[in-house]
Structure 1
Amino acid sequence: MSLLKQRIMDSAMRFFSEKGYVSTSIQDIANDCGIAKPSLYKFFSSKEDLLIEVYAFKIQDMYDQAEAIKANITLSPKDRFIRETLHQLEYFTELKFSIEENQVQSVQEKGKFISFCHCLRARQLNYYKDCLLTVYGGQIEACIWDLVAVYHGMMKEFTQFPNFVNQPLNLESAAIFIVARMEDMVVGILKTKLTPILQPSVIVEYVQHGLEGTPVPAAKNIEDLFRNLRSTVDELMVPITRKTELNEVAGLLQEETDKDQPKRMLIRTMLEFLQTQHELKNIVGQLDKLLG
């Protein structure tokens, strides 16, 4: 990488952090680097391209360092997991501006950055999955995505919450705490043999699409939710007549949604009926959102 390109990226990172992406202009960055805008455009065709490359460079650096930690055979799997967790906490704490989904629209509604975010999230989930399988083994395979969700949630909150309360965080203590809690959860899940909440097939498909930079098509999501709805109804501890009733309504709902001109009021009525069975509220709620 040329020294000028590196200087542009360093300047962009600083401006995006201090002013925010939207408030930063290409002119700001060019002035900071002491160059004319046309010179900057020789390296980056747009501010969005600059943002993507800045993130891609930082994230690749994070993964390269993580690989070095993984390769350290002098550490036990648990100690490596703690080091990897600490490394990520340090990285995300240092990275002052985020690309959370609620901020993506301010970049561009349907731009390249959206695809980049899908790919970034998928890569991160895959990385977390590999970390957990490495330290806890194949015994957690069935519930791996539930554990990934919990780990991801803790990592996110421990890097963001201190900013809300304006209090610094002891990152090393946080890393040890997170790994200890994951160990507690693994022991608990294996002991109680809980049924996985997140269906592996659904998450794997989400990750595969994400690595390609695309979201899972809405139609495929809806199909998967209907399949999940029917299997959940079959597992309910309710009288046969109630199961039959719920299955019939679920079938009618799917038939109606497949029509070219579905009746919205009828769909709303059937969704509300299915939600009267509390075990189905989560699935039906997701269907409700996708059906609009």
Structure 2
Amino acid sequence: MSLLKQRIMASAMRFFSEKGYMSTSMQDIANDCGIAKGSLYKYFASKEDLLIEVYDARVRDMYDKAEAIQADQTLQPRMRLIRGTLLQLQYFAELNFSIEEYQDLPMQENGKFIPFCHRLRARQLNYYKECLISAYGQQLEGHVWDVIAVYLGMMKEITQFTNVMNQPLDLEDAAVFIVDRMDDIAAGVVKKESPNLLKSSVITEYVQSGLRGATVTAAEQRRYLFETLTSAIEELTVQNTRKEELNGAVQLLQEEVQKDRPKRILIDILLGHLRSQHELISIIGQIGKLVAKEAVELRSPASQNR
């Protein structure tokens, strides 16, 4: 990478963090680098392309090193997990880096940044899956996404808590602490054969789509959620007449949300009816959030002008 390109990316990183993406202009970055604005476009086709490369550069090195640790067969699997955890904690602490660090990011559905974030997230989840199964064996595979959620939660909260409280933290101790807890959690879910909290097929499809550079559409999310809901109803320990009643409500709900102009009142009534079966509250909540999001998009000016 040329020195000028490095300067441009360093300047962009600082401006995006301090001013926000939307408030930063290419002219700001050009002025900061002491070059003509047109020179920027020799390296980056747009501001969004510049953001993506800045963002990618901040995590590429971390995952290259993390994957090198995972490939080091001189280390025991548990030690690879400790060192990989330590590496990530070091990067998070030094860079204080997350998507939320930037303000007003370009989140347009037809833009480049959202697919890029999906690819990044998919690579991260796939890496964690490989690390945890390597450390704890294939018996964890059926529960791996639930365990990953706990693993990510611990790393995120420990890092954020110490940053907010400005409290020094020995990251090596933190990495060992996290893996010690993961030992307990992995052993527990395998021994107890706990039911999965996260739907494996949904997460797997999300990861595979992300790695392909695709995104999971709203229609696909709906399909997964309704399949999960139907399966959950089938597993209920209630009378068949109750199952038939719930399945009828699901069918009406599916038909309504697929309409060009769904009736929100009817949807709310059906969601409320299904939510009355307490075992379904979680999945109904997810469907409700997706339907609400689609309703907002439907009312947007861009949608109404189509």
**TM-score scaled by length of structure 1:** 0.90
CA shift for structure 1 position 260: 4.8
What is the deviation of 1:173?
A: 1.7
Aligned twin of 2:199:
199
Aligned residues of 1:16 and 1:97 also touching (Cα < 8 A): no
Question: In structure 2, how many angstroms separate the alpha carbons of the residues matched to 1:48 and 1:169?
Answer: 35
Decide which moves more: 29-38 or 116-125: 29-38
Equivalent residue letter for 1:62 = M
The question of whether the paired residues in 1 share the 8 Å contact of 2:123 and 2:211 is answered with yes
Taking structure 1 as reference, are residues 141 and 173 closer, same or farther at Cα in structure 2, changes over 3 Å only? same
Q: Retained in 2: the 8 A contact 1:117–1:213?
A: no
Aligned equivalents of 1:249 and 1:18: distance in 2?
Answer: 50
Q: How far is the alpha carbon of 1:146 from its aligned partner?
A: 1.0
Instruction: Measure how far apart 1:108 and its partner are.
Output: 4.5
The separation in 2 between residues aligned to 1:256 and 1:116, in whole angstroms, is: 32
Q: Distance in 2 between matches of 1:108 and 1:217?
A: 15
Q: Does 1:66 align with 2:30?
A: no
1:141 alignment counterpart: 141
Residues in 1 aligned to 2:129 and 2:191: alpha-carbon distance in whole angstroms: 21
**1:281 positional shift:** 0.7
| Contact in 1 for aligned 2:70/2:131 (Cα 8 Å) | no
Q: How does 1:271-290 map to 2 (within 5 A)?
A: 271-290=271-290
User: Which residue is 1:106 aligned to?
Assistant: 105
Q: What SS does the aligned partner of 1:106 have?
A: coil
Please say if residues 104 and 114 of structure 1, whose CA atoms lie closer than 8 Å, have aligned partners that are also in contact.
Answer: no
Question: Aligned residue pairs: how many?
Answer: 291
Q: List per-residue Cα deviations over 1:144-186 (Å, max 9, x = no partner).
A: 1111122122222222232222323322122111111111111
In 2, the alpha carbon distance for the partners of 1:22 and 1:167 equals 33
Paired residue for 2:226? 226
Does 1:172 pair with 2:172?
A: yes
1:69-148 to 2 correspondences below 5 Å: 69-100=69-100, 105-110=104-109, 111-148=111-148
Q: What letter matches 1:223 in structure 2?
A: R
C-alpha separation between the residues in 2 aligned to 1:28 and 1:90? 31
Aligned equivalents of 2:173, 2:160: Cα separation in 1 = 16
Mapped partners of 1:85, 1:150: distance in 2: 13
Query: Structure 2 unaligned runs (5+)?
Result: 293-306
Structure 1 stretches of 5 or more lacking a match? none
Q: Following TM superposition, by how much is the alpha carbon of 1:77 offset from its aligned partner in structure 2, in angstroms?
A: 0.8
Identity within the alignment, %: 62
- Shift in CA distance, 12/96, structure 1 to aligned 2, threshold 3 Å: farther
Q: 1:86 deviation in Å?
A: 0.7
Distance 1:19 1:167, change over 3 A: farther
Q: Residues 3 and 282 of structure 1: is their aligned pair in 2 closer, same or farther, counting only changes over 3 Å?
A: same
Q: Please state how far the C-alpha of 1:135 moved relative to its aligned partner.
A: 0.8
1:185 counterpart SS class: helix
What is the RMSD of the two structures over their aligned residues, measured on CA atoms? 2.2
Task: Give the Å deviation of 1:132.
Answer: 0.7
1:227 Cα deviation after fit: 1.3
Moved more, 111-120 or 38-47: 38-47
What is the match of residue 217 of structure 1? 217
Deviation by residue 1:118-138 (Cα, 9 ceiling, x = unmatched): 111111111111111111111
Give runs of aligned pairs for residues 230-245 of structure 1, distance below 5 A.
230-245=230-245
Change (3 A) 1:260 1:43: closer
Q: Are residues 20 and 171 of structure 1, via their aligned partners in 2, closer, same or farther at CA, if it must alter by over 3 Å?
A: farther
State the match for 2:304 in structure 1: none
Could you say which residue in structure 1 is the equivalent of 2:254?
254
Query: Deviation of residue 18 (structure 1)?
Result: 4.5
Higher mean alpha-carbon deviation, 71-80 vs 137-146, is at 71-80
Classify the secondary structure of the residue corresponding to 1:13. helix
3-state SS of paired residue (2:99):
coil
Aligned-pair CA distance for 1:39: 2.0
Cα distance between partner residues in 2 of 1:25 and 1:120: 25
CA gap 1:39/1:72 in 2 versus in 1, 3 angstroms: same
Equivalent residue, structure 1, for 2:301: none
**Structure 1 residues 272-281 or 231-240, which shifts more?**
231-240
In structure 1, the residue matched to 2:303 is none
Change beyond 3 A, Cα 1:80–1:51: same
Contact between 1:274 and 1:284, CA under 8 Å: does it hold in 2? yes
